[in-house]
Structure 1
Amino acid sequence: MEKTVGSHHACIRSAFATTAATEPDTAVGTTEPLNPPDGTHDCLGHPRRLVARTRERFAAVQERLAEGKSLRAIGRELRLDHSTVRRFARADSIDELLAKAVNRQSILDAYKPYLHQRWNEVCHDIPQLHRELRNRGFPGGIQTVRRYLRPSREHGLPMAPRPVPRPRRVVRWIMTDPNRLPAGDARELKEVRAACPHLDAAARHVRDFAIMLHDRRGDLLPDRMDRVLADDLPALHSLVTGFRRDQEAVVAGLSSSWSSGQVEGQVTRIKLVKRKGYGRANLDLLRKRILLVT
């Protein structure tokens, strides 16, 4: 699901940007809010070097793959590590690669709603805003706040009212039982699903699988796999391929109340006993302790 959401995160960004642009700001008296940097550009609006380099490498790797070159040959030619080339080769789109790069967490994230509120209340004194954030527990320096607010100071426009949710947050919404999802998160998930048909289909498949797992209806797995393959969701297609390699075992696991939990617990216990005796015991003592220690 994380890979699927990363591939379609551009749909989420466009949907939230559109929503933000339609909300007027009465404090400043304008209906044209300034969107904070979306991760592909810096605070001055210039393309980020990381994003540009990722796009260039993705295009170069895909071009050489189309020519029939091997991953090792591409790595030697582009002077890239083999794992890097493999990651670029397996990516379905550039958005999948950029999802993590442009959505990295910041120490300012938890304080942005308050910062947006104060800025739209026409409090543009950055030292004052920094002091207020420090009183709320913000551990960063004033330069972090200054860099984030620089576009608003230069253009004299209000901040966007809502940040775009990060991929992992959207994944958490999709993977959570709808009955346990807070109202605000459920509302934003509904917007995400409305903005992207692929993510809407993926969310439906997750719910179907969760119900099948909860009700122990392994007999429904073949039909569920056919439904997944009918949609354009490469990451979930890979999951179905894994299921079909040992489908009988997967169906049994989804249908039976038995599990391998007892076996895994014993393995964990044996590893603990072995580590306690590292450097101090031989195999005979280890065997006795494993058999005798409860």
Structure 2
Amino acid sequence: MSQVQKKNELTDPEQSRKETIIKIQSYLAQGYKSSDICKIMKTTYRQIRKYSVGDPDILCRRSKSSVHKSHLDPFKPLILEHLALKAEIKSIHKLLIERGHTGKLTNLYDYCKRLLEIEGMDHPKNTNIIGVKYNEAKPKGHCLERSRILRYLWSKLDIPPTDLSFILEKYPILKEMRDCISDFRRIYIDKNVRLLEEFIEKYGKSTNKNLKSFATGLFRDLIAVKNSIISEYSNGFLEGNNNRLKMIKRTMYGRAGLDLLRAKIIN
């Protein structure tokens, strides 16, 4: 085999890198977002930017001297020593920080990945990392998003019974909040002032300071709240215009006088 053929052949790390580059460019061509590609390929934004454009056969090649062009070069002997001892990269980073290094942990991960490839070293805990270390054995937890719980309270969004019983048992306040929303909505559906008085009496004694404060505020403006229940009229149009005028006033701060303000309000 000629020297040219040997030179053109890809090493195993380069072949693996080429496959990674092809996948990244393929996902980008299909319209995937960088965040989605990071999750699918367990890679980094930096690597996606680096390999997003270009010939994979050229991008995948890396000379053995490329690793030396780094601010981590002065620490290379120390890093190799600890990698040989199978040390965690996080612990190596802490040691480098003590020695005056100011770089980020993700940069050290990338640097160690290249060192492991070039030196042919075996590092069981870190050989599969690309910028970030992942623990595949860690089970994925089951969770309910805060937005789903809020939609359940306000709009009766369906939540699996097992999940619902768990969160109501763990957070009893949610049941009181759900009942409060339902009771307050019933006041305006039935247009019943008596229900308002019962609502204020019930939640005015609540141990939850927010619900108690809400009930106290209703009692303080009791006449206005009663009118909002029994009256067919609404001051929403007036409040909307007040909000508009206040916004115009704020945007006019430091500008011309009443003539310009009047023109903006009329228009």
Q: If the length of structure 1 is used for normalisation, what is the TM-score?
A: 0.40
Q: Which has the larger radius of gyration?
A: 2
